[in-house]
Structure 1
């Protein structure tokens, strides 16, 4: 039998209120809300719009009332959540007590506080500039969202700014079956990169970049050559299942193989059979039968095979070996014709691995359905 509660409800101490604000970072702790509680949502005026909700209600008629825990935890930090007005109404709705049980609210509070602790515990040298590059693929513009991609960099890095560096060209009328598309897109990418990333590299104290790109593969390779190894960067891949930019915690190894041609000729091609298979006749229809065709492939090509950082690292290693092997067989002055069928991140890394002073020049082709085959797009010349 518990003591009868006093009619006088104890006030929450200032120290407990302060602890609630600091542990929640001043944001609503209800799952999925995260609303800032220090400003008005429309006017942005500074004000306190927070409410303190009880997990175990103080009143016997309140939601989740417990004869033992309610009086014991009335002013205890563990029983209190900092929330917005809307979420406070949900939590205090007696009719929804089963939906918002004490166990569920305790988990919400725990998850929110652990996330804030994780984010605020990241050292200042882990700030990274988020770089977006989108270009029309066929007739479809590319959607890239800051809110979606920023989650991928945490906890290894966190955004250096509340905005992205956007290198893309939006709402262009030209499609990738036209030569002018490649000319305009490449010039825009070069100009945007020079104006934005080169400026940051010279003026920002934070020199790390998180790269999120969705564009035709020749432009992705071009972006990689601009980044090279000069810009400390991590390149991300959009996965289909699950739909996320985060690198996944999986252990499957992917064996990348470099397959040499049967004949060595003056004309040389390198095809990437990672997302799909490319038969030699498709390349020979463009370059002729007197072509040495090298291949980088995996056992089961798929458009969603690239899942982990380690897989991308293995690709980089083989790519460096492939450039050296092909140059040794054909000479540095030979142009390497590139036929890519590969994930976004590998296309960017191909460009990053390429060394402008040591490697062969590249002529990059792209599969185009309107022109029924591979078409010449971008030439990347060595220094």
Structure 2
């Protein structure tokens, strides 16, 4: 424990730099109140990285005296962790503690330095996928947003329908989920969009069948600024990652020009033509395709890949319309990640783009089924 007298000015500065929280990585406990009783008082202890005595924990014959009251040598800790680091100097040497201090104080500076226009309305949407009921953890969502965005309110706007017993093999499932999504959006989100004083930035976290994700995207078109997040498998979180370099989407244009137009999005898996033929029937059709070199469930890592998809899809919608005219409907077969499904809807423009009939792979039906229609012919 501290043997030196640390100036009050230094203590105040340390409180400010740490936001009054324990700096031991993984703790972050607020030191101005007791979490159990909620009694507010000062529970903080100031710990020395290099001990203030040559004979104390992490003590040094010369540096202990030189740095005894230097703020760069001081950490704010809860009593439990102050005692722990001093009793275990081999586990918590000075370099480990200094790194913890740096990480904590940089994080505090970044979070408090975010200006008000970085606030974002948090939107959650989940729906059953077969028998599976997804979930979105609020803490994970906030971690993914930080430090670029801060939530505009304490809780997210939840557009989900609770306790629907139907599964996605039923026609009623698609009708009920789609209607609920429209109604909840109208009541919960449209008032924000119509507020002339609102910023109207959205952070969208969704986990649902792809047709419903596309439907969600049409309700929040890309004229409104927003960030759509992706649940990754490795590592398991919603935070955007870097790369990869040299990534691109491949577009295949059909040689035919039939009135039945198919758009095959083989990104998270490959959709073979025989699966599409099973749905379309014996009618001739022209098949457009967007794919990548190796379709897989976890290819989407970065915001740059998502941005590139939006650009390619805008071009593709225009190409399809230019080739086939204004009087056709796109039969959309998607095998895409969550965020791309939402962005399909955000990119699609009701006044200029062709209507879409969206299909979904269904295990009970042993193939693709027709689900939701976007737009009117």
With the length of structure 2 as denominator, give the TM-score of the two structures: 0.93
Q: Comparing 27-36 with 185-194, which one deviates more in the overlay?
A: 185-194
Deviation at 1:9, TM superposition (A): 4.3
1:169 and 2:164 correspond: no
Alignment match, 1:135: 127
Please, which of 225, 230, 241 is the counterpart of residue 237 of structure 1?
A: 230
Please, which of 41, 48, 51 is the counterpart of residue 54 of structure 1?
A: 48
1:34 and 2:28 correspond: yes
* 1:330–1:158 CA distance, 2 compared to 1 (3 A): same
1:375 and 2:369 correspond: yes
User: Can you give the 5+ residue segments of structure 1 that lack an aligned partner in the other structure?
Assistant: 1-7
Deviation at 1:263, TM superposition (A): 2.2
Separation of aligned partners in 1, 2:223 and 2:183: 17
**Aligned residues, how many?**
374
* 1:50–1:206 CA distance, 2 compared to 1 (3 A): farther
Deviation at 1:251, TM superposition (A): 4.0
Alignment of 1:79-94 (within 5 A): 79-93=73-87
What RMSD in Å do the two structures reach over aligned CA positions?
A: 1.9
Please, which of 107, 124, 133 is the counterpart of residue 99 of structure 2?
A: 107
Please, which of 158, 180, 184 is the counterpart of residue 150 of structure 2?
A: 158
Separation of aligned partners in 1, 2:373 and 2:255: 26
Q: Comparing 155-164 with 215-224, which one deviates more in the overlay?
A: 155-164
Residue 82 of structure 1 aligns to a residue whose secondary structure is strand
Alignment match, 2:187: 195
Separation of aligned partners in 1, 2:277 and 2:261: 11
Deviation at 1:45, TM superposition (A): 3.7
Equivalent residues of 1:141, 1:171 under 8 A apart? no
Equivalent residues of 2:207, 2:338 under 8 A apart? yes
Separation of aligned partners in 1, 2:39 and 2:193: 35
Separation of aligned partners in 1, 2:155 and 2:79: 28
Separation of aligned partners in 2, 1:36 and 1:90: 18
Equivalent residues of 1:160, 1:206 under 8 A apart? no
Separation of aligned partners in 1, 2:28 and 2:250: 46
Equivalent residues of 2:125, 2:158 under 8 A apart? yes
1:351 and 2:345 correspond: yes
Deviation at 1:276, TM superposition (A): 1.1
1:215 and 2:208 correspond: yes
Equivalent residues of 1:91, 1:100 under 8 A apart? yes
